[in-house]
Copies of this chain bind each other. A is one copy, B any other.
Amino acid sequence: MLAVDEDRVLADLQALAEFGRIGTGVNRPAFSEADLSARQWLGGQMQSAGLDAAIDGIGTVYGRSPHCEQTILVGSHSDSVPNGGWLDGSLGVIFGLEVARASRRAQHGVGVDVISFADEEGTWLPCLGSRSFCGELTKQVLDTAQSKTGERLLHRLASLGLGDRPFARLDPRRHRGYFEAHIEQGPRLEAEGVDIGVVTGIVGMRRHIVHFCGRADHAGTTPMAMRRDAGVAMFSFATSLANGLRGAGGPDAVWNFGIAAVRPGAANVVPAEAELTVEFRDPSPLMIERMEAAFLAAVRDADGALHVAVSSMPNAALAPAAMNTALINMIAEAAAETGASHLRMPSGAGHDAMILAPRIPSAMMFVPSIGGRSHDISENTKEENIRRGFRVFATAVSKTLDRLTQTDDLAASVSSAKKERAS
């Protein structure tokens, strides 16, 4: 077992929260001054821990365990949404830093590399750092990426002095697995009184924009039967779509109608147009397809009913990412060994782990979020839950290091884990 220091984890979390502090949260969007300062500080901490650390050409801080041919990669991201929470991805970065620090002293045959990916929150491009790390970013994407205010990504990277730096890259022969700790960003763990969320997979998502085209009429002089009311068509569509999605998705399926608008938007004018943004998620690729079919059927059924034309445009899609069974079990076993209760659950939000999961064995664990709050300065986690989460995380990484040192093969550990569960 690695000799880790829980108090130092808490002190490091507090120190990192000073960069961009705003009330009880942090304002550290990717490539802001606060984000860069935090990354420089992180790089310094990694070097003090004996790692070869640097900020790479995309802004990711990568601390490499020297003299090791094989490592476990641990970390998350240290950027935030505007006025975000102090833990969020920072929790996983600091957990990773402490584990890597302890690992350097332990002189394991298998090392620990720690990483804070750039711009997970998508100020410029969601999961920018992990996509770059996995070689997913084409030159065209890099050339065209820009912020909401229209500044080009390459321009900002150059102005921060990162323009000529090399890029850290995933090496599956070196990086034998990836562990990421994160706050839950949802209410389940707290509501069910559970200490640890063992993430089985990251849900897939589809987003569509549905457009309703009717006709504007005077709401006093046009008889009800002669109207083509785009607003009423939208209300009716949303209600029946919810039923369709409920029937099509799995038990963890969720959906949302987050944007709804009618035009022209006057009390005495029948709405001529309406627009609804529909999003649905499920951890299972099959269920996502079933929900997609239910969605398209709802659009077909609504089109022309109520004399309103209904059409839809896909707006975004994310494939579900399953976590690695061996590493999932490693976290569950670590929870059991440290006396923490756990729950296997999907992640409803996206994380860097979903970029790494198709390439190397990857796993995530959650600690409870107070009131389920996140992406806001009110986000927090009880100190006892941070401490307990860190013990589980360190134990899981430690057990995986042991397993790799013994077997040189995580696949073997999968079989062994399966046998353990079957027995």
Contacts and interface: CB of A to CB of B under 8 A. Distances in A.
B279 A260 contact: no
The main secondary structure of chain A at its interface with chain B is mixed
B220 A205 contact: yes
Interface residues of A, number: 59
Contacts of A188: 221, 223, 226
A231 interface: yes
Contacts of A217: 186-187, 372
Contacts of A191: 226
B254 A258 contact: no
Contacts of A203: 220
Contact of A258 (B253, B268, B277, B281): B268
A207 interface: yes
Contacts of A422: none
Interface stretch (A3-11, A89-97, A101-109, A233-241): A233-241
A226 B187 contact: yes
Given A187-B226, A226-B187, A349-B221, A262 B267 contact: no
A207 B267 contact: yes
B267 A219 contact: no
Interface in A236-292: 236, 238-239, 242, 246, 252-262, 265-271, 274, 277, 279, 281
Q: Among the interface residues A221, A234, A277, which one has the most CB atoms of the partner chain B within 10 A? A: A221
A267 B274 CA distance: 15
Contacts of A347: 220-221
Contacts of A232: 238, 242, 257
A21 interface: no
Nearest to A349: B220
A218 B265 contact: no
A288 to B, nearest CB: 13
Contacts of A281: 219-220
Given A235-B235, A279-B267, A254 B222 contact: yes
17 contacts: A185-B221, A187-B223, A219-B256, A221-B374, A224-B246, A224-B253, A224-B255, A226-B372, A231-B260, A232-B242, A232-B257, A257-B262, A258-B265, A258-B266, A259-B262, A260-B262, A260-B271
